Homo-oligomer: A and B are copies of this chain.
């Protein structure tokens, strides 16, 4: 007899792919009572997405796992382009170097490893575990409860699947199991299916919030009756993750080979794996004449052979392959009531642009902390509305971007008699125009309680709603330089950056100490005495004087934070000074941000490392208003 269980949770995350795990990370950091389910019996080990853009790496750095990505992944900062020359011979036409945004370039690494790192980060901070082989089967939403933050408006039935039900259908001639011996040692424990409940158990779960991260065919989206608009294109592509046997010289360089018979995209990956995207139709072959079900690994091999000819190409090891028809769809919204959609459930497009996983992870990162803060009763429920206003426009831009980029690829193929140099110039042009968006460095987050657009321009190169430009600072406590992407840890707290300017000036020191007093008052208002000091807002000072010219006691006590058990926090004062060792710092952080080196500024970072507010050292009253718009009064909180 199958068991039945009834339970409640504050937050349910459906789907444990990259977007679901990013959201789950916040549940772990905030200690939210949360559940994470996935219908698959195991995590992914190979294939699927594989490109991490530099902004995503910055976020992973703030979560403490970027160095694992770098250690295993394949860095990419240029694209080589091959095409036939005037005589018809295939030649390297040139190399396009991407505009770089230190500290990170693009890194290619399979999604399975990225999930590993996210799972480990979650484990480091909580006992939250992904429940695999669990299927959400029914959904009810009680609108009457929607405005009561304490209520559980969502009721779901979850069924524990058998191992067979929870395993994806094996692809013809391709067994997932034969590659298990190639798993990394730390993935092995996840290759075995575990169940929390007995197979067949049906659990009735009531949730306060649900985040649907369940992919392009999202079950959650369907329950909400949210249309998924768009269409599939006429183009069928194959993707293979292989170990190449070839004399094509640029097999470890990312790039395109545009031959008369089609254009392939090559993405070198971890170890000796290479991913190749290849169009499967012959020239002018239209879709209705193309039999997708007839595609085999063999037919993909033959297409790549033809395009790379006269170079030799073959493979014996294939880790993963798939066939897809380029679809471009967007959900009509990413939020309905207290249910939110993230990742592929909101937007699908061509995988070739290397953005899907990045947008998805950033979706999960954006919704996660907001839901967590509200579920913990710390923030006003209205802040969750910013998920839609911040992420939905980006989903639309993503679809536009994919349209442009795919049109370019198509045009290239149709004009394959044209001069290669002109094509290359056209591609570079697109790359340049879309770079900031594609890499995730510009986010366009609009005005909201979380983003104060009326901020003073105390930092000419920074804007509320955008990221902090990464710089390397030195710890004043010990002189070791560190990138701000690592220093500003995504630990769940808002962060006030007190840019003190140059404390050698007595007048400036006076401003800074006065600001310190005001910030102390602000913290007293924000955090009640029953709560752990600094639990919601962390303050870091960044000064502009030389490292040797100041001492820690020149800074107001608010940035030392004395604790009876742990003493002073010595990680709070940083120097924008030059250091030529290790991760060298150039001492130009203030210049990068456009901040006056004498006068400094106040900058507030949201928990997700986006700028929320900026002002002068005197503007703490305005800053207080900013926080009042977000956080529940501390007296009210203690009633929860």
The residues of A with any CB-CB pair to B shorter than 8 Å are 64, 67-68, 70-71, 74-78, 100, 102-103, 105, 120, 123-124, 184-186, 243-247, 249, 251-253, 268, 272, 315-317, 475, 477-480, 551-553, 564-571, 581-582
Task: Determine whether the beta carbon of A567 is less than 8 Å from that of B315.
Answer: yes
Checking B71, B105, B251, B272 against A581 with a beta-carbon cut-off of 8 angstroms, the contacting residue is: B105
What residue of chain B has the Cβ atom nearest to residue A315's Cβ? B567
Q: Quick one: closest B residue to A66, CB to CB?
A: B71
Instruction: Provide the residues of chain B in CB contact with A77, threshold 8 Å.
Output: 479, 581-582
Cα distance A238–B249 in the bound complex, in angstroms: 61
Contact A317 B566 (CB under 8 A): yes
Separation in Å of the A152 CB from the closest CB of chain B?
A: 30
A118 to chain B, nearest CB (A): 13
Measured CB to CB, the nearest residue on chain B to A72 is B64
- CB distance A570 to B272 under 8 Å? yes
Partner of A186, one of B120, B244, B552: B120
What are 23 A-B residue pairs whose CB atoms fall within 8 Å in the complex?
Answer: A67-B70, A75-B480, A75-B582, A120-B185, A123-B185, A124-B185, A243-B565, A243-B566, A245-B564, A245-B567, A245-B568, A247-B553, A249-B551, A249-B552, A249-B553, A251-B570, A252-B478, A253-B477, A253-B478, A253-B479, A272-B570, A317-B565, A317-B566
Q: Looking at the complex, which one of B268, B569, B570 makes contact with A478 (CB distance below 8 Å)? A: B268
Q: Which residue of B lies closest to A481 (CB)?
A: B75
Besides A67-B70, A244-B567, A252-B475, 19 more A-B contacts (Cβ < 8 Å) are: A64-B71, A74-B478, A75-B480, A75-B582, A105-B581, A245-B565, A245-B568, A246-B567, A247-B553, A247-B568, A252-B477, A253-B478, A253-B479, A272-B567, A272-B569, A272-B570, A315-B567, A316-B564, A316-B566
Which chain B positions have C-beta within 8 A of A67?
Answer: 67-68, 70-71
- Identify the closest chain B residue to A567 (Cβ): B245
A374 to chain B, nearest CB (A): 27
List the B residue with the shortest CB-CB distance to A126.
B185
Collect the chain B residues with CB atoms within 8 Å of residue A105's CB. Answer: 581-582
**A316 adjacent to B565 (CB under 8 Å):** yes
CA distance in complex: A315, B567 (Å): 8
Residues from chain B with a CB closer than 8 A to the CB of A71 are 64, 67
The 9 closest A-B pairs by CB, nearest first: A245-B567, A252-B477, A252-B478, A124-B185, A316-B565, A123-B185, A252-B570, A75-B480, A253-B478
Chain B residues with CB under 8 A of A553? 247, 249
For the complex formed, measure the closest distance between the CB of A581 and the CB atoms of chain B, giving whole angstroms.
6
Closest to A563 in B: B245
Q: How far is the CA of A479 from the CA of B567 in the complex (A)?
A: 47
